[in-house]
Each structure stands twice: as C-alpha cells, then as structure tokens.
Amino acid sequence: MTEVATPEHVEPILRLRGIGRRFGGLHAVRDVDLDVAHGERRAILGPNGAGKTTLFNVISGDFPPSAGTIEFQGDEITLLSPSARAKLGMGRTYQKSRLFLGLSVEDNLYLAVLGVKSGHLRPVKLRRDNELRERARDLARTVGLDGRERTLVGSLSHGEQRQLEVGMARAVNPTLMMLDEPASGLSRGERVALTELLLQLDPAITLILIEHDMDVALRVAERVTMMHDGRVIVEGTPDEIRANQTVHDLYLGRGNQSDG
Ligand SMILES: Nc1ncnc2c1ncn2[C@@H]1O[C@H](COP(=O)(O)OP(=O)(O)O)[C@@H](O)[C@H]1O
Ligand SMILES: [Mg+2]
C-alpha cells in the first residue's frame, strides 16, 4: 500500500528552536520557536522594533544567532554562511533596498543570477553568459517587468522596484523566499499589484513575509506569526489574528505605524 503523506506528517521546511539574538545587552530576538511548512505562506507581523528583521537576518545567516538552532529542509544550518544558505535555496530581500539604481533592470537581475552561480563575480564564458542573460530576462517577466528590461532602475516607480527585488530574490531559485516589508512605501495601487504578484507566486516556493500592512499580510498569508519585544506572542490563521485581543491591544489598537 502506498502511504500518502499528509502535511502534518511532513517535516517543516524551516524549523527554529530557542532562537535568540542579542546586541550587547539588548535582546532583539528571544526564545523563538517557529515551524514553517513546505509551500506555506507565512506572514510575520509586529510593531517596529519587535525583532522581525533580526529574525530574518538570523534565518538567512546575515547574523548568527546568540542562542538556538535552525534547520532547513531537514538539515541543521545554524552556523552556515549566507551564501551557503542561498545555494541551499534561501532567497531574501532587504528592508532597505539593495538595488543598483544606475544599472538596468536586466543587469540587476543578471548580477543576482551571477551571484548564485559563482558566489563572487568573475568573468563568464560567452555561451554561459547568454544563458544567464536569458535567465535574467525570464525573471523580469515573472515579476511583471517585461518590456522594462533596459530601463534604468533609478527611473522605475517605487512599486516596480519592489517587484524587481522579488525577482532578485527569485534568482537563486529559492525553495524558501523571505521578503522584508515588500509593500512599504508603496501607493495603494502599487500594493494591490504587489499583492497580486505574491498571490501568483509558484505555490512550490515557501514564502515568509514581514509586513506592516495588515491588508497585504492577511490577504497573502495562510498563517501569521505576531512578534513583540523579540518574542512570538501569537500565531494563527488570518481569521484568528483578526479576532485576537492581544493583537488588537498591542498592534491594531495603536494604529498602523507604517509609513502609510
Ligand atoms: N545591527 C544591530 N545592532 C544593534 N541593534 C540592532 C541591530 N539590528 C536591530 N537592532 C535592534 O534590535 C531590535 C529589533 O530590531 P528589528 O529586528 O529591526 O525590528 P523590526 O524589524 O521588527 O522593526 C531593535 O531594538 C533594534 O534597534
Ligand atoms: Mg524590520
């Protein structure tokens, strides 16, 4: 008889246990346990300073944790470098944009693709180069920037730049993609477009989204993790989050602190 694995029996793609990160005496993240299932859409919510970005930095390897362990696809990766994690299939964006504004859309994506192939920049053989260029143009299409390949990134709209960042994160062919406040600074229309882009993302890619905008977060996510003062305080479905009194007291009640 064939056994059909149900999601409950499959190990999570990402598992954090007892994760902490201190900066001197400041506990930016403390004692975080987190399980994210394969293909899940997870939002991480919480007020400014809650520790959301630090948690991403610990997961992506940008900062090692001060405590705890991280498993990715069943292997412990707690001490691996960021580039080793990228090769295993982690892609991320940064809250503060890291785009090259003076280069074209295609060149930015090309550099992101190159970064994966070699870890650092070195001359590429011409045939291989054409392949990588083609991949960069494909990525532009997957994030709705077809026709904009030659455009300088500095002259894209804010929303298009955010779309491009999603494309750059996709350059590593991620199985796990982490987006840090992709909707911040966007107009209402741009947020709708970005939400659509996220909803159309390949369902095989696991997505963790830090989002200050409740509308975007609760629309895209299947589960929501709420952080406050470095800790996870609530976890649940979007409906459970909407109905949760702690969430209202700590977050919704004070109004959205984002840049609007
Ligand atoms: N590199 C760092 N050095 C020192 N303190 C930091 C650093 N990064 C974050 N922090 C502090 O850690 C806390 C959590 O920050 P952060 O993770 O950026 O929160 P969030 O993304 O939820 O707004 C804040 O008090 C912040 O000032
Ligand atoms: Mg942050």
Mutation to probe ligand 1, out of 22, 48, 54 (largest number of atoms < 8 A from CB): 54
Ligand 1 atom at minimal distance to the Cα of residue 55: 17
Kindly state which CATH superfamily the domain 90-173 is placed in: P-loop containing nucleotide triphosphate hydrolases (3.40.50.300)
User: Which residues approach ligand 1 with their CB closer than 6 A?
Assistant: 23, 26, 28, 46, 48-54
The pocket of ion ligand 2, defined by CB under 5 A, consists of 52-53, 95
pLDDT (tens place) for every residue of the chain, 260 residues total: 455 555 555 789 999 999 999 999 999 999 999 999 999 999 999 989 999 999 999 999 999 999 999 999 999 999 999 989 998 999 999 888 889 999 999 999 999 988 755 445 556 666 778 899 999 999 999 999 999 999 999 999 999 999 999 999 998 889 999 999 999 888 999 999 889 989 999 999 999 999 888 888 999 999 999 999 999 999 999 999 999 988 888 766 554 444 43
What is the distance in A from the centroid of ligand 2 to the CA of 44?
A: 10
The helix/strand count (H/E) of the chain reads as 9, 10
Contact 232, 54 (CB under 8 A): no
Please tell me the pTM assigned to this model. Answer: 0.87
Q: Which residues pair with 227 in a beta bridge?
A: 232
Ligand 1 atom at minimal distance to the Cα of residue 46: 22
H or E segment at 22?
A: strand 14-23
Rounded CA gap, 49 and 26, in Å?
Answer: 11
Q: Which burial class, exposed, middle or buried, applies to 123 when counting CB atoms under 10 A from its CB (0-12, 13-18, 19+)?
A: exposed
CATH class for domain 1-80+177-260?
A: alpha beta
Contact 40, 207 (CB under 8 A): yes
Q: Where in the chain is the domain with CATH 3.40.50.300?
A: 1-80+177-260, 90-173
Q: Which residues pair with 231 in a beta bridge?
A: 228
